Amino acid sequence: MANFANPFAGNVPRKMTKEELIQAVRLNIAGELEAIYVYDAHVQATDDPVAKKVISDIRDEEKAHIGELMTLLKYLDPEEAVHFAEGEEEVKEMLEDLKISIPSDSSKSTVGSLLK
Ligand SMILES: [Fe+2]
């Protein structure tokens, strides 16, 4: 029988406060980033086309999870969302200085665009 880790090992035995929930979501995002890193390393480390396709698909699903979690984080902590938007604007200005345009698809799902 599988023996999974306790997902609440770092928490106290009660419902989380809002701040604890925000921290938990940040930890969830970190976990998704780590999963993407590992899946991508495995995609790069194999020439098996089926494995590449399946693992790439799973990796991309983890990216979608980050989008879900980031949206949840912005809902839970609107002030943090303002900081995300500030960072996005800074990079956009740098790209503008470099005369580099942002692909239209990426601007649809950016952090800042969800604030508007
Ligand atoms: Fe995930």
86 belongs to a structural domain: yes
CATH number reported for the structural domain that contains residue 51 in this entry? 1.20.5
Q: Which two tokens stand for residue 46?
A: 């194999």
**Could you tell me if 72 and 27 lie in one domain?**
yes
Cα of 28 vs centre of ligand 1, distance in Å, is 8
For ligand 1, the distance from its centroid to the CA atom of residue 79, given in whole angstroms, is 25
Predicted confidence at residue 13, as pLDDT, reads 77
Asked whether the predicted pLDDT for residue 114 surpasses 50, the reply is no
Residue 8 inside a domain? The answer is: no
CA of 10 to the centre of ligand 1 (A): 19
Assess whether 66 and 87 both reside in one domain: no
Question: For position 11, what pLDDT does the model report?
Answer: 65
Same domain as 64, residue 49: yes
Top pLDDT among 111 and 98 is at 98
Using the mean position of ligand 1's atoms as its centre, give its distance from the Cα of residue 62 in Å.
4
Range of the domain at 100: 78-116
Report the alpha-carbon angle 7-21-13, nearest 5. 50
Check whether residue 85 and residue 51 sit in a common domain. Answer: no
Task: Using a pLDDT cut of 70, give the percent of the chain over it.
Answer: 82
When divided into structural domains, the chain yields a total of 2
Within-domain flag for 7: no
